[in-house]
Amino acid sequence: MHQLGLKYAQQLDHEDALNHYRNQFHIPKDAAGNTLIYMTGNSLGLQPKATKAYVNQELDDWANLGVEGHTEGETPWLNYHEFLTESMSKIVGAKPMEVVVMNTLTANLHLMMVSFYKPTKTRYKILIESDAFPSDKYAVESQLRHHGYDDKAGLILWKPKKDETLLQYEDLETILEEHGHEIALIMIGGVNYYTGQFFDLKRITTLGHDFGCTVGFDCAHGAGNVALNLHDSGVDFAVWCTYKYLNSGPGSLAGCFVHERHAYKKDLNRFTGWWSHNKETRFKMRDEFDQLPGAEGWQLSNPPILSMAAIKASLDIFNEVGFDNLIDKSKKLTGYFEFLLKQLGEHVIKIITPENPDERGCQISIQVKNANKTLHDTLTQAGVISDWREPDVIRCAPVPLYNSFEDVFRLVEKLKGIFSLPNPLSPKERELRRIFKREK
């Protein structure tokens, strides 16, 4: 089939209107200068080449202006977060007043739970997916303990059916029918980190609200990857990081969404700081606290400029590309990846990510039969940067901003070579033959 060849992949790249954006990113290379196949944007996005100039601008303003940079700089620091708001709101499908960039992901999650986890004696439990990202599980458990509840008895897990990997909505409905009166908060990862399953945020939110639950999402693996449509989903709150698909650099700031129906609720319990105080009177130091409306009202401190500069560098690219265009390419790129992987045969691999393009982002999670981490190590040595998740899954995310159809083709060719193990065999290859030996 011509779709299996390199020329076809190169033709797809030639026809791709977004292909030139790859040149706006630094693509890692090996020690010999060969370009690596980078498939871990789901863990850390690549650096835009423009980032250095954006950060240097703030360093220059700091050097030349000192404290005056807060008001006189090229991009004044005082309200720097406002330069990010509109772009970020488009990416997550929100109104600008519903979004703010601040803090880090788990810190924001805790700030949201201060306001939206309101346990009572009879309704105090928290529902999460059974294979939630560990930090989410740790965070909700600590909230239960903080409020005086047992962190095991207070946690309800949405689990897949026996011998299945993906979660089913009918199981969530059953949980809520049986325990909805006990559940104060539903907190789900919008895209599951392990399987890549993209949940129907609106369906879950509507269901949760029908049973009187508050609903929030951790969108770390969704922001910049899928169309979250947070406002239309009706979700009460959401949080996400910016260092994965939003390419802002390791440990960079996070984002936060609070639905507009909560925008003017000054009686909502929350932790506050001077950046959640009225901007007009913020520097009248002795005034009583005056709550800002919208998501900005959950800020605590003045913005860390260097991190925000890196975020702005990436968001400006998103603005230029258009998020709808990015989603369209993502579906084509991941669909091509899936097609090639299936040629390897179900006796070799199993794709545990949903087949429906609307139920996943760009990540494909590949379960390899009878494998251990040796396979991942060998793939790394072959020039592929992916990641391994125990016990037997390789996660690969062809990111539409900087990955190409040729990247996808070459990755699958390398997998094919590892599975077939051509002679002569190295010690590593002999070990792999033992692992992948199939009954004839």
User: Does 254 share its domain with 140?
Assistant: yes
Query: Do 376 and 253 fall within a single domain?
Result: no
SS3 content of the chain, % helix, strand, coil (to 5): 45, 15, 40
> Is 422's pLDDT higher than 50?
no
Is 116 in a helix, a strand, or coil?
helix
- Both 276 and 328 in one domain: the answer is no
> Among 153-157, 217-221, 277-281, 422-426, where is mean pLDDT lowest?
422-426
324-332 long-range contacts (CB < 8 A, ≥24 apart) are 324/227, 325/17, 325/18, 326/18, 326/400, 326/401, 327/226, 327/227, 327/400, 329/16, 329/18, 329/400, 330/225, 330/361, 330/362, 330/398, 330/399, 330/400, 331/357, 332/12
User: Has residue 56 been placed in a domain?
Assistant: no
Q: Are residues 340 and 368 in the same domain?
A: yes
Which of the listed residues 286, 319, 352 is the one where a domain comes to its end?
319
Question: Is 272 in the same domain as 145?
Answer: yes
Helix, strand, or coil (residue 75): coil
What are the tokens at 349? 């691999």
> Which of residues 285, 319, 353 is at a domain's end?
319
Asked if residue 357 is part of any domain, the answer here is yes
Asked if residue 438 has pLDDT above 80, the reply is no
pLDDT of residue 431: 55
Same domain, 262 and 370: no
pLDDT at 429 over 60: no
Q: How confident is the model at residue 255 (pLDDT cuts 50, 70, 90)?
A: very high
Q: Which domain holds residue 110?
A: 79-319
SS3 310: helix
Between the CA atoms of 189, 192, 197 and 201, what dihedral angle is there, to the nearest 10 degrees? 0
The average pLDDT across 352-378 equals 91
Phi, psi of 197 (to 5 degrees): -70, 125
- Does residue 143 share a domain with residue 178? yes
Is the confidence at residue 27, as pLDDT, over 80?
yes
- 1 has a pLDDT exceeding 80: no
* Single-letter code of the amino acid located at 236: D
Whether residue 365 is contained in a domain is answered as: yes
Residue 433 has pLDDT above 50, yes or no: no
Q: In what order do the strands lie in the sheet with 214-218?
A: 99-102, 254-258, 237-241, 214-218, 183-189, 125-129, 155-158
- Res 182 pLDDT > 70: yes
Distance CA 74, CA 433 (A): 59
Q: Structurally, how many domains does the chain consist of?
A: 2
CATH code of residue 416: 3.90.1150.10
Q: Find out whether 217 and 203 touch, Cβ atoms under 8 Å.
A: no
Q: Tell me: the pLDDT tens digits for 111-152?
A: 999 999 999 999 999 999 999 999 999 999 999 999 999 999
On whether both 287 and 387 belong to a single domain, the answer is no
Chosen domain end from 264, 291, 319: 319
Question: For residues 238 and 116, is the Cβ–Cβ distance under 8 A?
Answer: no
For residues 337 and 423, membership in a common domain is answered with: yes
Q: What is the mean pLDDT of residues 67-82?
A: 96
